[in-house]
Amino acid sequence: MTLHQLPDVGDPRRVIALDAVHNFRDIGGYPTADGRTTKWRRLFRADALYRLSGQDVDSVRPLGLRTVVDLRTDEELELRGRFPVDEHPIDFHHIDVMDTTWERDENDIDDVAEFLCSAYEKMLHQLPHRFAEAIERLGAPGALPAVFHCAAGKDRTGVTAMLVLGALGVPNEYIAADYGLTAEGTARTRAWAQRESPELWQRMADTPSAWMAAEPEAMLKVIAGIEAAHGTIRDYVLHIGVQPTTLAHLEAELLE
């Protein structure tokens, strides 16, 4: 498969339009290998939910969220804050899935997709049990509708989305296309930051461009590695500790 053959996943229902959060997306509407489809308005992926306030909270409220899984580090949580549970009570879980921050100099990055693939494989190698814990939280009885997120909604969130969608049987090309939509979310964040948040605008300007990229090829490479070692994403998810009953519950809740 070549990248130009990736499916169009830009359904108008996909993006939850908000003012200060720009990568809040529904992962419904994706086909599975057995002919089912992921349900709309049950599971979401997102970026910086600590920026939710005012009208954005009111816009999110109709989604009926019951669970938020925050994949950021302790430092990020302390520095930036978290989902506004006082304004919108939910079951909040903080699960740090990244052991170390990226330190590679941009000048050393010749292949962006290879760099991202290596970073994601490192995450999975270092803390696979944390990703399993996140999936267990999402698959707990009564957890849905739910959203999982990190800072940009790209890397930690993207790997988690890959594991969930792959375990449900969503084809690799749809997983990669879903990951690639983050490029549009990043563009929305840049435009907003330039207008509204000089501090965020400067942070984004100082971040190596490779770190901000969302190359679908990178996710396809990660999936290929998982399949070579474990057979399927589902087999890998079970291998890292997610219970079969959790996957069965996710299937019952998320597929139609």
Q: How many domains does the chain have?
A: 1
* Domain span at 96: 3-254
Pairwise CA distance, residues 29 & 143, whole Å = 20
Work out the average pLDDT over 114-141. Answer: 96
What does the alpha-carbon distance between residue 59 and residue 234 come to, in Å, rounded to a whole number? 34
Residue 248 confidence (pLDDT): 98
Tokens at 170, concatenated: 């969503």
- Alpha carbon of 113 to those of 105, 160, 251: distances in Å? 15, 18, 31
Task: Spell out the residues 6+ positions from residue 90 whose beta carbon is closer than 8 angstroms to its own.
Answer: 65, 66, 67, 68, 83
- Range 159-172 average pLDDT: 98
Tell me: the pLDDT tens digits for 56-115? 999 999 999 999 999 999 999 999 999 999 999 999 999 999 976 666 555 567 899 999
Per-residue pLDDT of 5-28, as tens digits, reads: 899 999 999 999 999 999 999 999
Q: Rounded to the nearest 5°, which phi and psi values hold at 90?
A: -145, 175
* Distance, CA of 172 to CA of 62 (rounded, Å): 31
20 CB contacts (<8 Å, ≥6 apart)? 48, 51, 52, 53, 56, 192, 196
**Phi and psi dihedrals of 12, rounded to 5?**
-60, -20
Distances (CA, A) of 238 to 29, 94, 139, 178, 243: 24, 22, 13, 23, 6
Give the per-residue pLDDT at 1.
47
Q: Which residues pair with 70 in a beta bridge?
A: 94, 149
Return mean pLDDT, the chain.
94
pLDDT (tens digit per residue) in 30-45: 999 999 999 999 999 9
Task: Say whether pLDDT at 47 is over 60.
Answer: yes
pLDDT at residue 101, as a whole number? 62
For residue 149, the domain's CATH number is: 3.90.190.10
Q: Six-digit token pair at 173?
A: 């090309």
